[in-house]
Amino acid sequence: MRPVHSFALGAWVAPGPDPREIESAITGEVIARAGGSALDMAAMRDFAVARGGAALRTMGFHDRARMIKAVALHLRERRALLYDLSFDTGATAKDHLIDVDGGIGTMLVYASKGRREMPDGLVYLDGDPEMLGQSGQFQGQHICTPKQGVAVHINAYNFPVWGMLEKLAPTWLAGMPAIVKPATSTSYVTEACVRLIHESGLVPEGALQLVTGGVSDLFDHLRGQDVVTFTGSAATGLQLRSHASLLSNTVPFTAEQDSLNASVLGPDAIPGTPEFDLFVKEVVREITVKAGQKCTAVRRIMVPEVSMDPMQDALTKALTGITVGDPRDPAMRMGALVSAAQKQDVLRAADRIGQEAERVFGDPDTMAGLRGAFLPPMLYRCDAPDDADVVHQTEAFGPVSTLIPYRDTGHAAYLMNRGGGALVASVITHDASFARDITMVAGAFHGRLYFNNRDSMADATGHGAPLPHMVHGGPGRAGGGEELGGIRAVLHYMQRTAVQGSPDILSAITGAHVTGASTDSGKRHPFTRAFDDLAIGDTLVTPARQVTLKDIETFAVFTGDTFYAHMDEEAAAANPFFPGRVAHGYLLLSFAAGLFVQPDPGPVLANTGLDNLRFMTPVSPGDSIYVHLTVKAKRRRTETYGEVRWQVTLYNQDDTQVAEYDLLTMNAY
Ligand code: NAP
């Protein structure tokens, strides 16, 4: 019998005298006990804030990203332990890849995005500075800094590892500590994962605490700097989001709830097309992976009326090949539901669906001989979906799905939307106009739309897979929340603040040069100074260079760019943008480099790109240009070099801006 501990105030706490029993999904035997311990929730919150939050906030985004990567690699080396435990939740070896490897992979993506897309500092910049006054000496910038409370993550039972890690990664990257409360029925897997993280010694004390069992009075102690995320049923979500303390303290609450996800077969995808076969494959996978206990599983299968019979035949044939049994047996394609209670829940929901639809595949009685919480895949068929209600409203959280006909594009989108807001819908079609028309009607009701066909199927990641790069969540019934989506999720754990002030003030706060801030042009050429010797605001002002007609013609002939604006005085003058022949923009960029480059070997290793290039004023033959090159931002990239972002501004002889861009170089430390 495994006692499932909580981890509170830096110590492991055993279950109390009246814990909940947890059964094996495979045998039905009690294998673990959890909960019932008297945890001091107020102290846990304070501990998270005072220790975990304080320690995380002294680290920059890149330090935290490195920490997340190290934790992920630590878990990856030890994942076999988590696989082993997960079998008892009913999951097959393939299911472990989604939960365990999926969770670790999500952490790795966040670690990488944190280093590539966030600054090497403490403040995240949301957008560019806004000019708020005439002279440029009063500007605004949106910044994000970590919330100074704790993130409470309440997770569903179906993904005990992924559910925790996909929320921890953005939370930690933002700089917030977390208290994780897994669903009791699979909490032994989460507990093992938290033990591995704790044993790694990679995470500051207080950055992660674990509550197994109930959360007691935790919500009473939450305040406006805290965040609650919830994944689970709509009923629990409603109960939690209406907690008086969350409402009176305006604690942000993000929910990921049930979802009546649809998969739609395009009218073009008739039997015999690659799309028809792809649809069968995707739908069967979504019904059977994790025994259908996936928030994104396909609950409603929508096909053109004429394809109902062929699709029913194809699905029936494919589902016949699904072996159900002990997930430790590699021959089994589908494991068990998490518990006998969950199995009963699913059967009750299936019975309700059965009032409006006919079961055409999968008899639960065939599993009666098995001890665990086993069910076969069950396919229903509803020929009158407009009159149906339960079919569009009932999430049987198991291997249950309903086949539904649609008449035309509008009808398909209407039926999709009858789910009342969903996490995802897939559309299998090779007809781009059908995809576009569906999107215009169903987009607002869905957090994600997944299109797949013969062109994308080799690469496609699957209807049901929430990816760290893309948002996961949905409107209405799906909870109205949003997770993942790259750096978007990190911002849920940060406060966005509009800061207004002079460029010097904004530069000091953001750690990035703001146009108009003081510069220092009194030092050695910046290309001769190592990464660590460059300060934000260091500037080189070059001498001027005249641009002649001969320069323009030579460049035109050399590059082949003989566009009339450079070569034909009359045609150029007729163009509303030009006074006559003008220099090529690319010629000006090249001359700018010629003006600011220091040619000798030195710390500048490579030019890796230009961002935000704008040509503002045409340069006519006889005009001159000079350049301001200013260190705008820096980020360390590897052990030996970092990236320098230079603000480059070209001026003409009247000090009017001609062009502006960011130049990126890699510089040795
Ligand atoms: P659930 O019964 O609503 O439980 C979800 C979580 O809430 C569990 O950790 C549960 O803990 C906790 N909880 C329940 N009552 C609570 C209370 N009064 N105070 C604090 N915490 C409380 O859902 P589930 O059965 O675990 O999961 C299945 C549901 O989750 C399905 O409806 C599915 O669609 C949904 N789901 C959604 C997503 C998504 O991303 N949208 C993902 C996965 C699952 P205990 O276990 O200790 O009761």
What is the whole-number distance in angstroms between the Cα of residue 214 and the centre of ligand 1? 12
Q: Report how far residue 398's alpha carbon sits from residue 406's, in angstroms, rounded to the nearest whole number.
A: 24
DSSP state at residue 299:
-
Tokens of 256: 């990921």
Q: Max Cα separation, the chain?
A: 93
Whether 295 is in the pocket of ligand 1, judged by its Cβ within 6 Å, is yes
Distance, first Cα to last Cα, the chain:
55
| Residue with CA at minimum distance from ligand 1 atom 1 | 232
What is the whole-number distance in angstroms between the Cα of residue 352 and the centre of ligand 1? 21
- Closest by CA to 535, choosing from 557, 513, 514, is 513
pLDDT for residue 1 = 81
Of 111-115, 294-298, 389-393, 519-523, least confident by mean pLDDT is 519-523
pLDDT for residue 500 = 98
What is the whole-number distance in angstroms between the Cα of residue 157 and the centre of ligand 1? 7
What is the whole-number distance in angstroms between the Cα of residue 179 and the centre of ligand 1? 16
> Please, which residues bridge with residue 609 across strands?
664
> Please, which residues bridge with residue 449 across strands?
425
What is the whole-number distance in angstroms between the Cα of residue 236 and the centre of ligand 1? 7
| Residue with CA at minimum distance from ligand 1 atom 45 | 183
Ligand 1 nearest atom to the CA of residue 236, by list position: 3
Q: Report how far residue 566's alpha carbon sits from residue 551's, in angstroms, rounded to the nearest whole number.
A: 11
Q: Which of 21, 154, 217 to mutate to test the pocket of ligand 1 (most atoms within 8 A of CB)?
A: 154
Q: Report how far residue 179's alpha carbon sits from residue 185's, in angstroms, rounded to the nearest whole number.
A: 18
- pLDDT exceeds 90 at position 598: yes
Backbone torsion region of residue 182, taken as left when φ is above 0, otherwise alpha when ψ lies between -120 and 50, otherwise beta: beta
Task: State the DSSP H helix or E strand holding residue 169, giving kind and residue range, or none if neither.
Answer: helix 162-174
| Residue with CA at minimum distance from ligand 1 atom 23 | 232
Q: What is the dihedral of CA 423, 426, 432, 438, to 10 degrees?
A: -50
Tokens of 18: 């009246």
Q: What is the dihedral of CA 78, 286, 473, 395, to 10 degrees?
A: -120
| Residue with CA at minimum distance from ligand 1 atom 43 | 295
Half-sphere exposure of residue 320: CA atoms within 13 angstroms, side-chain side: 7
Burial 532-552 (b: 16+ CB within 10 A, else e): eebebbbbbebeebebeeebb
Ligand 1 nearest atom to the CA of residue 182, by list position: 9
Whether 184 is in the pocket of ligand 1, judged by its Cβ within 6 Å, is yes
Three-state SS at 454? coil
pLDDT for residue 370 = 84
> Please, which residues bridge with residue 630 across strands?
539, 647
Tokens of 300: 């409603």
Compute CA distances 367 → 290, 349, 362, 374, 377, whole Å.
17, 18, 10, 6, 11
DSSP string, 512-557: S--TTS--B--SS-GGGS-GGG--TTBEEEPPPEE--HHHHHHHHH
pLDDT for residue 667 = 96
Q: Which of 18, 21, 157 to mutate to test the pocket of ligand 1 (most atoms within 8 A of CB)?
A: 157
What is the whole-number distance in angstroms between the Cα of residue 257 and the centre of ligand 1? 8
Tokens of 506: 């904004």
- Closest by CA to 375, choosing from 17, 18, 25, is 25
- Closest by CA to 327, choosing from 2, 83, 78, 30, is 83
pLDDT in tens, 246-256: 999 999 999 99
- pLDDT exceeds 90 at position 4: yes
Task: State the DSSP H helix or E strand holding residue 635, giving kind and residue range, or none if neither.
Answer: strand 624-636
Strands 400-406 and 378-381: parallel
- pLDDT exceeds 90 at position 47: yes
Compute CA distances 505 → 139, 419, 499, 517, whole Å.
10, 50, 9, 8
Whether 483 is in the pocket of ligand 1, judged by its Cβ within 6 Å, is no
Whether 253 is in the pocket of ligand 1, judged by its Cβ within 6 Å, is no
User: Does pTM top 0.95 for this prediction?
Assistant: no
| Residue with CA at minimum distance from ligand 1 atom 35 | 232
What is the whole-number distance in angstroms between the Cα of residue 183 and the centre of ligand 1? 6
What is the whole-number distance in angstroms between the Cα of residue 182 and the centre of ligand 1? 9
Q: Report how far residue 158's alpha carbon sits from residue 575's, in angstroms, rounded to the nearest whole number.
A: 64
Report angle CA 5, 8, 13 to the nearest 5 degrees: 35
pLDDT for residue 323 = 94
Residue 571 near residue 564 (C-beta atoms within 8 A): yes
Whether 258 is in the pocket of ligand 1, judged by its Cβ within 6 Å, is yes
Residue 3 — φ and ψ, nearest 5°? -80, 125
Average pLDDT over residues 155-163: 97
| Residue with CA at minimum distance from ligand 1 atom 47 | 184
Residue 38: pLDDT band (50, 70, 90) is confident
| Residue with CA at minimum distance from ligand 1 atom 4 | 232
Strands 483-484 and 471-472: antiparallel
pLDDT in tens, 441-464: 999 999 999 999 999 999 999 999
Q: Report how far residue 235's alpha carbon sits from residue 423's, in angstroms, rounded to the nearest whole number.
A: 17
pLDDT in tens, 413-435: 999 999 999 999 999 999 999 99
Residue 111 — φ and ψ, nearest 5°? -60, -40
Whether 360 is in the pocket of ligand 1, judged by its Cβ within 6 Å, is no
| Residue with CA at minimum distance from ligand 1 atom 11 | 183
Q: Report how far residue 205's alpha carbon sits from residue 53's, in angstroms, rounded to the nearest whole number.
A: 9
| Residue with CA at minimum distance from ligand 1 atom 9 | 183
The residue annotated as part of the active site, out of 144, 295, 356, 395, is 295
| Residue with CA at minimum distance from ligand 1 atom 36 | 232
What is the whole-number distance in angstroms between the Cα of residue 188 and the centre of ligand 1? 16
Ligand 1 nearest atom to the CA of residue 472, by list position: 40
Average pLDDT over residues 360-385: 93
Whether 566 is in the pocket of ligand 1, judged by its Cβ within 6 Å, is no
- Closest by CA to 624, choosing from 523, 549, 554, 546, is 546
Three-state SS at 609? strand
Residue 384 — φ and ψ, nearest 5°? -125, 70
pLDDT in tens, 49-70: 999 999 999 999 999 999 999 9
Report angle CA 411, 417, 423 to the nearest 5 degrees: 135
Residue in the block written with tokens 């003989």: 562
Instruction: For the chain, give the percent of residues with pLDDT over 70.
Output: 100
Pinpoint the alpha helices (H) of 175-226.
Answer: 187-200
Residue 387: pLDDT band (50, 70, 90) is very high
Whether 4 is in the pocket of ligand 1, judged by its Cβ within 6 Å, is no
Whether 261 is in the pocket of ligand 1, judged by its Cβ within 6 Å, is no
Q: Report how far residue 305's alpha carbon sits from residue 3's, in angstroms, rounded to the nearest whole number.
A: 53
pLDDT for residue 37 = 84
Residue in the block written with tokens 């990190």: 490
Whether 154 is in the pocket of ligand 1, judged by its Cβ within 6 Å, is yes
Identify whether 295 is a catalytic site residue.
Answer: yes
What is the whole-number distance in angstroms between the Cα of residue 235 and the centre of ligand 1? 9
- Closest by CA to 516, choosing from 244, 131, 156, is 131
Identify whether 193 is a catalytic site residue.
Answer: no
Ligand 1 nearest atom to the CA of residue 156, by list position: 26
Average pLDDT over residues 80-89: 96
The residue annotated as part of the active site, out of 191, 256, 395, 482, is 256
pLDDT in tens, 257-279: 989 999 999 999 999 999 999 99
Residue 74 near residue 223 (C-beta atoms within 8 A): no
pLDDT for residue 522 = 87
Residue 656: pLDDT band (50, 70, 90) is very high
Residue 649 near residue 549 (C-beta atoms within 8 A): no
pLDDT for residue 36 = 82
